[in-house]
Amino acid sequence: MDELSFALAIELQLRDVEEALSTRKGKGRLGDAVSSSDEVAFNDYREHLLSTARILADERLAESLDRAVRSDGGLLEELMKLELGDEGSRELAMQLSEEAVMVVPEEKSRNDMWRSMAVGTGVEMTDEAIEALERRCQEWDLVDELEKKKKSRADCAICLESFSTEHTITAPCKHTYCFTDLKDLFIRACKDEQLFPPRCCKQELSVELALPLLNDDEAIEFLEKSEEFTCKDRTYCFQPSCSRFIPAENISRDVATCNDCYSRTCKLCKKEEHDSEDCPDDPSMKLTLETAAANGWQRCQQCHSLVERSHGCQHMTCRCKAEWCYRCGVTWKTCECGDWDEDHIHRRAEDLAIREMGAGAGVRALAVRAGAIVADLRVNHECEHTEGWTYTRTAARCEMCSDFLPNYIFECDGCRLRACNRCHINRI
């Protein structure tokens, strides 16, 4: 097998191994003490393939340098003479430094600088020779940079595995992502609007980072979801079997036409197109709103989504980015409802006290601790989660995505919110 075919075979095997390992990734793996035997085997084989690939790369580099030395021996000799001449000039300057008067040199072009360095060396520096010498120096710099990049490694912020920096991407916040986890983040953002736009440490990640990793269908889906998730007044196909988002260009005179099933939906009432100017009553929507009112849910006035608060204060930030009061539903800071609900904040404090002390700590002790937590929550009811996170090795449920993690959890040092690794980096 020739060298090119051998390198291609290694590359294909590496892709197969990476794909096999990526299917084993999950939230529960962070902090696991033992990996399964097949993961160990895959990791060992991947290291073997990477080692073989590095050997091939070293051989190709050695051959390239050998050809460069043979073909550019004259240029190398000239460069050596220039360096020696420059060194001699420096020694002379050192000897005369005590008597020398500082003179600000005139600005010179790069060609003039090369020629001045060649003075006294016997080397004729024509424009062509200078151009060839600089081109060769740039090639050597590129080779050095490539070799440094191949040897350096970084840990992925999500899966915590080590990768060559060639196979990682650095986010604006300086967190490093392997290709698999960065691609997965953009794909999950198409399914879970709370993850959109994809971000790390509250800084948005440009789609340009992920486009080389997404196939055509995935890239198209992300761009379509970008249009959907940034639309403030969305219209979906009224057909339950379709329910496809209808973009603005498909809406004319308050009638939206679905691209998939061609059904026509009223933009105002979100139901089937109707002839009358006034939208008809919707019994199913009326029943839904009655259920929401009975359970204390609130409806966003901007995107009309129903929201149920699981924790936190009255300040709601909807997935459409609208901010409003959970108690009355109006725009935030335009009402007199206050920042928190007393019943809600006491229930939260009791839950935190039990989490901290255990249910067997006694009613009096728990009540005293809950009282202290209430006072703290009143100050930190709008936590921005900037005080840091504590990693704890314990089984717990993420309060953001509701996934159960058997081995670890992150807890906000400010409000004690518990979150998995992905949520505390990408969802907060």
pLDDT of residue 66: 65
Is the distance from CB of 265 to CB of 258 less than 8 angstroms? yes
How far out from the chain centre does Cα 308 lie?
Answer: 28
pLDDT of residue 265: 94
142-150: Cβ within 8 A, 24+ apart: 143/61, 143/64, 143/65, 147/61, 150/54, 150/57
Helix/strand/coil for 417: coil
**Mind listing the pLDDT tens digit for each residue in 258-299?**
999 999 999 888 889 988 767 777 677 778 878 888 887 888
Q: Mark residue 329 as left, alpha or beta (left: phi above 0; alpha: psi -120 to 50; beta: remaining).
A: left
User: 427: buried, middle or exposed (CB in 10 Å: 19+, 13-18, 0-12)?
Assistant: middle
Q: Which residues contact 333 (CB under 8 A, 6 or more apart)?
A: none
Of the candidates 202, 197, 198, 271, the residue with the CA atom closest to the CA atom of residue 237:
271
Rounded Cα gap, residues 161 and 144, in angstroms:
26
Right CATH number for 384-428 from 2.120.10, 3.40.1130, 3.40.50, 3.30.60?
A: 3.30.60
Q: Which residues contact 289 (CB under 8 A, 6 or more apart)?
A: 299
pLDDT of residue 125: 59
Peptide bond before residue 247 is cis, with ω within 30 degrees of 0: no
Q: Compute how many other C-beta atoms are within 10 angstroms of the C-beta atom of residue 425.
A: 22
Residue identified by tokens 């998939």 is 260
Of the candidates 139, 210, 128, the residue with the CA atom closest to the CA atom of residue 171:
210
Ordered per-residue pLDDT tens for the chain, 428 residues: 566 666 667 777 777 777 777 766 554 444 444 456 677 777 777 788 777 777 777 777 667 666 665 665 565 565 555 555 545 555 545 554 555 454 444 545 555 655 555 555 555 556 776 676 667 666 666 666 666 655 688 899 999 899 988 889 999 999 999 999 999 999 999 999 889 999 999 999 999 999 999 999 999 999 999 999 988 888 999 999 999 999 999 999 889 999 999 999 998 888 899 887 677 776 777 788 788 888 878 888 877 778 877 666 778 888 777 888 888 888 887 887 777 777 777 888 888 888 888 888 888 899 989 888 888 877 776 778 888 899 999 999 998 888 999 999 999 988 888 999 999 999 88
SS3 sequence of 269-287? CCCECCCCCCCCCCHHHHH
User: 277: buried, middle or exposed (CB in 10 Å: 19+, 13-18, 0-12)?
Assistant: exposed
- Every domain of the chain and the residues it spans: 162-229, 384-428
pLDDT of residue 397: 92
pLDDT of residue 224: 93
CATH code of the domain occupying 162-229: 3.30.40.10
pLDDT of residue 122: 54
Is the distance from CB of 116 to CB of 108 less than 8 angstroms? yes
List, as one string, the DSSP characters of 104-159. Answer: -PPP--HHHHHHHHHTTTT----HHHHHHHHHHHHHHHHHHHHHHHHH-EEE-TTT
Residue identified by tokens 């409802």 is 337
Of the candidates 320, 319, 318, 296, the residue with the CA atom closest to the CA atom of residue 308:
296
pLDDT of residue 33: 41
Helix/strand/coil for 396: strand
Tokens in use for 137? 């120096």
pLDDT of residue 144: 63
Q: What angle do CA 62, 63, 68 make, to 5 degrees?
A: 95
